[in-house]
Structure 1
């Protein structure tokens, strides 16, 4: 099992798409093991986007991510990092394929509704920014045997 962080960004919250987006992860058979709504502070934004802080676009990124609440999700599943990123589609909503979250709901590069960790190290670092270990709910859904074979 692998874990990843997904953020439903301010535009997803403001557009009231939270339920539809969460439903897609659940319908895929992924396990949401933690979830919370919070307001990202400038300090948290700097930690989360540390690799971008010195780039010219960072001020607008920070302004956007701190503009309204977000919903942070810890999601678990087989190859969940790749699965989730495939579900999101291309970063720019205008380029994202139909059927992906961004392809269906976004028409912007920055206001693209969701963030997801891009690799195992990023997932571990990002999850620790948003969740303490005590907030992670370890459980196996009773429908798991109907979602994948026992040897997967």
Structure 2
């Protein structure tokens, strides 16, 4: 079993999709070992996405991620990283496969409903950003 980090983004939380997305996650065989609803400050969003600070979309991304609540999740499964990336679908929902979360729920490439770590190494960093060891069961 391995773990990865996921997030339900503001666009999905605002539209009341948290329960549907969590159900899809569990139906796909993940165990949710960490779950937290919170609102990121702009500064926290900038810290979380610091790897993108030189990219032209950084300001828009961090404003979006701090506009309302997110739901942070830690997922456990065999090959969790790859399995979560597959369930999310392509970043651009127009290119996402049928049956993926982004194909079904995303509004656009920017408001694509969910986040997933881009590597197993970053999953550990992102989990530690949002959760301490006592919050993971």
User: Which bin holds the TM-score, normalised by the shorter protein?
Assistant: over 0.9
Q: Give 5+ residue unaligned stretches, structure 2.
A: none
Higher Rg of the two aligned structures? 1
* Separation of aligned partners in 2, 1:82 and 1:16: 26
Match of 1:26 in 2: 26
Deviations 1:1-40 (A, max 9, x none): 1111110000010011101100011111111001010001
Instruction: Assess if the C-alpha contact under 8 Å between 1:92 and 1:107 holds in 2.
Output: no
SS at match of 1:61: helix
**1:37–1:69 Cα contact (<8 Å) kept:** yes
Shift of 1:121: 0.7
- Bigger helix fraction: 2
Are 1:12 and 2:12 counterparts? Answer: yes
Give the TM-score of the pair, scaled to structure 2: 0.96
Structure 1: tracts of 5 or more residues without a match: 138-152
Matched residue SS, 2:71: strand
Confirm or deny that 1:101 pairs with 2:104.
no
Match of 1:38 in 2: 38
- Residue 136 of structure 1 corresponds to which residue in structure 2? 136
- SS of residue matched to 2:95: coil
C-alpha distance in 2 between matches for 1:29 and 1:90: 20
Give the superposition deviation at 1:93: 1.1
